[in-house]
Amino acid sequence: MAHHNKQNTDLLYKGNKIDQTKVSEPEVMPLYLSTAHNVSDLDDLHDTYDRQGYAYIRSHNANRDGAAELVSYLEKAEQSLITNSGMAAISTTLLALLHNGDHVIADKTLYGESIDLLNELSQFNITVDFVDITDSHAVESAVKENTKIIYTETVGNPMMTVANIGELSKLAHSHKSYLIVDNTFMTAVLFQSITAGADIVINSLTKFANGHGDVSLGAISGSSELIQQIYQWQVLLGTTGAPFDSWLATRGMRTLDLRVKKQSSNALALAEFLVEQPQIKKVYYSGLVGHPQHELASNQFSNYYGGMLSFELNGDYDSINQLLGQLKLTKYAMTLGGIRTTISHPVSSSHFDTPEEERSKIGITNQLLRVSAGIEDEADLIYDFQQALAQID
């Protein structure tokens, strides 16, 4: 007879239960890392299914649900899903809603990997036309009988073009198509796309929403009907967000309003400084009066224009390296939306895989640099760029 070692068994299970009578309402949301939750019997299991309770982590998790509830509140959406990255949010949505023979109209100035993903849809017999989303005639001319989706970013990455969401929603709905908006750059604090008419809103929570550079997460928001359709695909694709990342993003979103407004005011101040500098060829920021969509942005976004801007440097590769090397507060980073100002070179990062011919059509030159404004003191941030520009040959 095998020796029964009850002590070893007890070690596995002791401390696994919490006396709920001793637990008051916590100030901070608890972290639920458990992959699975125990049930007492099959009746309990089926009851868990019926109420969409917690049984297995890929299907449901308390931290993920908490983050989704907060995103829905911010975006004024009926329901949201939390994914393991911004690209997961985009890919899961497109795969769930598109079918063989469908057509997509997309902005030509999207994030590089969004463009790559849309191009890959051709293997499923899904066609995509990239247009200037700011040209309403060009968008309408691209509509076909099989157009299923119009896809845009609220503010284009990295050219800072501004999409007229209300106008696009009317066009999409008149042709029985969906309008999908990536609202990462503006966040729901500055603009609520669903209120303006979007059917689905995408957010990379990795960026401004989390805000601290320690999470990879995305969100899909919309009507309960559409979200449930997308959810079925999310579970099968396995693109659900991790509990700890969801917990961190929830923490980050608590200060989103404070951070993004400061980042926006810093971005405007920096843009107004840069546009006056002889070393700068052009500045792209919708808060500037000279921006092509400034009037639209003022009406659509009210008092804030977001924390992102781009500019073209007068100079070559060496000049860009000199600038990057002389910046002290601002550092090069392959991300955006954090509390510290960061800078990137789209040709070398976000649009590295985009063919040069396509980049030229978008307006992405080798001299273009993209800045994500942080929450530093405004004067310190401007001085950082002032002293760096002064040292360029």
Question: Is 251 an annotated catalytic residue?
Answer: no
Is residue 23 predicted with pLDDT exceeding 90?
A: no
* CATH architecture, domain 256-390: Alpha-Beta Complex (3.90)
171-193 pLDDT, tens digit per residue, is 999 999 999 999 999 999 999 99
Query: Looking at residue 1, what is its pLDDT?
Result: 52
Question: Is 50 an annotated catalytic residue?
Answer: no
Is residue 254 predicted with pLDDT exceeding 60?
A: yes
**Amino acid letter, residue 152:** T
**Amino acid letter, residue 350:** S
65-77 pLDDT, tens digit per residue, is 999 999 999 999 9
- Cα distances from 297 to residues 22, 151, 190, 288, 300, in angstroms, run 52, 19, 11, 10, 5
Distance, in Å, from the CA atom of 48 to the CA atom of 46, rounded to the nearest integer, reads: 5
Query: Residue 203, SS3?
Result: strand
Determine contact, residues 160/184, Cβ cutoff 8 Å.
Answer: no
Question: Is 393 an annotated catalytic residue?
Answer: no
> Interior CA angle at 144 toward 140 and 148, to 5°?
95
Query: Looking at residue 5, what is its pLDDT?
Result: 76
Query: Looking at residue 356, what is its pLDDT?
Result: 80
26-53 pLDDT, tens digit per residue, is 889 999 999 999 999 999 999 999 998 9
- Cα distances from 216 to residues 220, 238, 241, in angstroms, run 14, 15, 8
For the chain, where are the E strands, in sequence order? 79-83, 103-107, 127-131, 147-153, 178-182, 200-204, 218-222, 280-284, 308-313, 331-332, 342-344, 368-372
Is residue 14 predicted with pLDDT exceeding 90?
A: no
Arithmetic mean of pLDDT, 316-340: 96
Reported as a pLDDT band with limits 50, 70 and 90, residue 284 is: very high
Residue 175 vs residue 357, higher pLDDT: 175
Query: Looking at residue 21, what is its pLDDT?
Result: 75
Query: Looking at residue 2, what is its pLDDT?
Result: 57
Check 51, 176, 353, 393 and give the catalytic one.
51
Query: Looking at residue 198, what is its pLDDT?
Result: 98
Arithmetic mean of pLDDT, 114-139: 97
- Cα distances from 275 to residues 31, 136, 283, 289, 341, in angstroms, run 46, 28, 6, 11, 18
Cβ-based burial of 334 (10 A; exposed 0-12, middle 13-18, buried ≥19): exposed
Query: Looking at residue 24, what is its pLDDT?
Result: 80
Query: Looking at residue 349, what is its pLDDT?
Result: 83
Query: Looking at residue 3, what is its pLDDT?
Result: 63
Check 102, 107, 111, 151 and give the catalytic one.
111
Tell me the pLDDT of the chain averaged across its residues: 95
Is residue 111 predicted with pLDDT exceeding 80?
A: yes
Check 64, 107, 178, 182 and give the catalytic one.
182
Question: Is 111 an annotated catalytic residue?
Answer: yes
Provide the 8-state DSSP code for 125: T
Dihedral, 369, 375, 380, 386 alpha carbons, nearest 10? 10
Reported as a pLDDT band with limits 50, 70 and 90, residue 242 is: very high
Is residue 90 predicted with pLDDT exceeding 90?
A: yes
Query: Looking at residue 214, what is its pLDDT?
Result: 97
Query: Looking at residue 360, what is its pLDDT?
Result: 80
**CATH fold of the domain at 42-253:** Aspartate Aminotransferase; domain 2 (3.40.640)
52-64 pLDDT, tens digit per residue, is 899 999 999 999 9
Domain chopping of the chain, boundaries: 42-253, 256-390
Residue with tokens 């993920």, as numbered in its chain: 64
